[in-house]
Chain A
Amino acid sequence: MSSIWESCIKHLEQDIPPQQINTWIRPLQAQYSNDGLSLFAPNKFVLDWVIDNYKEKISNIINGLEKKDVRVSIAIGSSKTTHTRPSFNNQKTTTNKQTSAAFPSNLNSSFTFDNFVEGKSNALAKAAAIQVSTNPGEANNPLYLYGGVGLGKTHLMHAVGNSILANSPNAKICFLSSERFVSEMVSSLQKNKINQFKNFYRSLDLLLIDDIQFFAKKERSQEEFFHTFNTLIENNKQIILTCDCYPKEINGLEDRLKSRFGWGLPIAIDPPDLETRVAILKNKAELNNVDLPDEVAFFMGSRIKSNVRELEGALRRVLANSNFTGKPITLDFTKDALRDLISLQDKRVSIDNIQKTVSEYYKIRIADLLSAKRTRAIARPRQLAMALAKELTNYSLPEIGHQFGGKDHTTVLHAQRKIIELRESDQKIDEDYKNLLRTLSH
């Protein structure tokens, strides 16, 4: 950063409180040249505020420091000549972790198939992703990955991109979020560059769009994306989309897009099972050069069940504590480092909540769920609720039985086994279980 700008900030600090300096002045990027001082604000909001409140002051200070009239200009943007965000209007870019490629793909090179921990819940998605990476544009187009948050959809998407790029370094690949697609389209419309925008996205070999659900209700973007989609598919170019739900369930999306998103095979990624959670933890610890003891990994994996991001956050906390105190990571150490998180997890999903959610889902009364009625319309939901209570809470079998109207622990055990068996044989039960698990894990 220009030192004249640093000196100017020091002067400003004398009569502007530090908080305001940090909010309005420090975000500005400065570039000093023969033409004067150019300041760049991150957005219009900061720009207007600085112009209204500080520009005159800044000009006066700079003139005083340089002992001459210096032109001070302020605009939205960045002082760096190479913009760091790849997009259709900015094609010579790199970021720190970005794969070096002839074309700015925006891929994160740290997401590969090798470091994607596979388990029952994501094996199908991984297999499909590998297939797409070996034969892009041929089968499974678009590849549509859906599931809850923090389960590895984005990781797989980048892994396909990185793998294709390794085989064809000149492939034109672009990864972006649906929000970025929308905002680039809006800005290209404003700048009369919509044709460049269209040409850019329609000329790709591989288009990766993350979190497609954010297209909801953006009609103009959906229209544009519809045409991009058709062009790419017609030319056998691969598209990969991720979403939090099945195509037909996306609210606010045009039907023609919903049906197209289902053209390939939509594949669900479910929350990882215990063994996979343990493997993920050990894998992530290893990346930090830490050998996480099995009992610690099993403890964390059995307590934190909702998604991989929470596991990651918990692991960070344990590692930071161990680094700071110099103590080895033992079970007791881990319990202590995570005590607030774990007591929260215990409280988060209560049996009451499971009973309420299940009875609402099946439209039955909670009283029936807790009764001794054995008709199938009641017994199945009851068994499901019991199985979910075993999966999501840390209550013992007798405790669960007790909360279901004083049932025996063998009833709970039977319910749990029955549901495992039914999920294998009855797709409907499996769907119901997953839907309920998703609702309760949020």
Chain B
Amino acid sequence: MHPQIPLPFKPQDEYNFNNFIATGNELIVQSLNTIENEFFIFLWGASSTGKTHLLQATCQQQALQGKTVCYLPLIDLHTLSSDILDGMDGIDTICIDDIQLISNKRDWEVSLFNLFNQIKQQGKHLVISSTQSPQQLGIQLNDLKSRLSSGLALNLTPLDDESTVQVLQNRALKLGLELNQDTASYMVNRLPRDLASLWVLLEKLDKACMTEQRKLTIPFLKNTLQL
């Protein structure tokens, strides 16, 4: 018998505030939800703490209110010209992800400094995420560094084990994979902690389950991942 070949189908990630597990980060979610009260919010935290999710959710929510928004993933853009920031001050809410990638890049720092001033002058809103706090970022342009320190800077708390299990189960559900509490807890306890690695492993398990037409159990998991 031929093995079942899974179709290369990936669910589209949907980022909104409802599917963000906010444990420990309630103030952050609340602040982003009411962004009209703040001109500038700076989110920082280790990777896999949900920065991208929150920025995307902010875009989503503002768009629902009929606002123009722009999400700028510096991971894709920082090797390009900083001209992409030109004219952005006409947009109601701008979310810039992974700002640590442009620290110490003079052109980007100056462009962001200019954009910051324009957004403030226009009464628009800015959300920036980073792996480090504004003071630790290593921004060389003091004019920009001090501006980045002026906003509401909030530190993201990493997920606790219980919440990670929940996030993992939600993700599995989206893949159409049944992941019970015990197996999810096993994964959280035995596998790398960061969500990005867990996603990759979860997809690997999903494929294996489909190919072999098996349910995801701890023994199957151990066998598949050769633990």
Q: Using CB atoms and an 8 Å cutoff, list the residues of chain A in contact with chain B.
A: 1, 17-19, 22-23, 26-29, 42-46, 76, 78, 80, 84-85, 95-97, 106, 108, 148-150, 177, 179-180, 210-211, 214, 244, 306-307, 309-310, 312-313, 316-317, 320-321, 324, 340-341, 344-345, 348, 442
Q: List 8 A-B contacts (CB under 8 A).
A: A18-B56, A29-B90, A42-B90, A45-B86, A148-B142, A307-B149, A316-B152, A316-B153
Q: How far is the CB of A34 from chain B (nearest CB, A)?
A: 23
* CB contact between B91 and one of A42, A214, A316 (< 8 Å): that residue: A42
Distance between Cα atoms of A321 and B30 in the complex (Å): 11
- In the complex, whether B206 has a CB less than 8 A from a CB of chain A is no
Query: What's the Cα separation between A18 and B19 when bound, in Å?
Result: 15
Q: Is the CB of A344 within 8 A of B123?
A: no
CB-CB nearest in chain A for B52: A19
- Total number of A-B contacts with CB less than 8 angstroms? 144
Which residues does chain B contribute within 8 Å of A97, judged by CB atoms?
123
Q: Are B68 and A313 in contact (CB under 8 A)?
A: no
Tell me which residues across on chain B come within 8 A of A211, comparing CB atoms.
Answer: 143
Check A18 against B15 for contact (C-beta < 8 Å).
yes
Partner of B150, one of A180, A312, A348: A312
Which residues of B line the A interface, CB within 8 A?
A: 12-15, 26-27, 30-31, 38, 42, 56, 59-60, 63, 66, 68-73, 80-81, 83-91, 95, 110, 114, 117-118, 121-123, 133-136, 142-143, 145-147, 149-155
Additional A-B contact list (11), CB under 8 Å, known A26-B59, A307-B146, A320-B154? A23-B70, A42-B91, A43-B83, A43-B84, A43-B85, A149-B146, A150-B149, A179-B110, A244-B142, A310-B149, A317-B154
Contact B110 A214 (CB under 8 A): yes
Contacts of A148 in B (CB 8 A): 142
Best-buried of A18, A44, A78, A210 by chain B (most CB within 10 Å):
A18
Which of B31, B69, B145 is within 8 Å of A26, CB to CB?
B69
Ranked 4 nearest A-B pairs via Cβ: A22-B71, A309-B150, A42-B87, A27-B70
Give Cα A141–Cα B20 distance, bound, in whole angstroms.
56
Contacts A17-B12, A149-B145; A43 near B70 (Cβ below 8 A): no
In the docked arrangement, what's the CA distance between A321 and B150, Å? 16
In the bound complex, do residue B90 and residue A84 qualify as a contact, i.e. CB atoms below 8 Å apart?
Answer: yes
Nearest A residue (CB) for B121? A95
A150 touches B152 (CB 8 A): no
CA distance A150 to B31 in the complex (A): 24
Contact B123 A309 (CB under 8 A): no
Which A residues are CB-close (under 8 A) to B27?
320-321, 324
Q: B117 is contacted by which of A23, A177, A348 (Cβ under 8 Å)?
A: A177
Interchain CB contact (< 8 A) of B146 among A44, A78, A180, A310: A310
Closest Cβ–Cβ distance, residue A430 to chain B (whole Å): 22
Q: Which residue of B lies closest to A20 (CB)?
A: B71
Alpha-carbon distance between A441 and B80 when the two chains are bound, in angstroms: 32
Residues of A contacting B136 in the complex (Cβ-Cβ under 8 angstroms): 344
Given contacts A22-B70, A211-B143, A316-B151, contact A43 B88 (CB under 8 A): yes
B-chain residues with CB within 8 Å of residue A84 when the two chains form the complex: 90, 122
* Residue pair B133, A85 in contact (C-beta under 8 Å): no
Within the assembled complex, what's the spacing in Å between the Cα atoms of A43 and B117? 18
Q: What's the Cα separation between A179 and B152 when bound, in Å? A: 26
> Could you say which of B31, B59, B89, B121 contacts A22, with CB atoms under 8 Å apart?
B59
Contacts A149-B145, A309-B150; A22 near B69 (Cβ below 8 A): yes
Q: B56, A19: Cβ atoms under 8 Å?
A: yes
By a CB distance below 8 angstroms, the chain A residues around B134 are 313
Contact A149:B143 (CB < 8 A) given known A17-B13, A26-B68: yes
Q: Which residues of B contact A78 (CB under 8 A)?
A: 90
**In the complex the two chains form, is B133's CB within 8 Å of A341's CB?**
yes
What distance in Å separates the Cβ of A317 from its nearest Cβ neighbour in chain B? Answer: 6
Tell me, in angstroms, the Cα distance from A149 to B134 when the chains sit together: 15
Q: Which residues of A contact B87 (CB under 8 A)?
A: 42-43, 76
Chain B's nearest CB lies how many Å from the CB of A405? 30
Contacts of B89 in A (CB 8 A): 85
Instruction: Give A102 to B155 CA distance when docked, in angstroms.
Output: 45
Which of A22, A312, A316 is close to B56, meaning CB atoms less than 8 Å apart?
Answer: A22
Complex CA gap A139/B107 in Å reads 38
Q: Which residues of B contact A324 (CB under 8 A)?
A: 26-27, 30-31
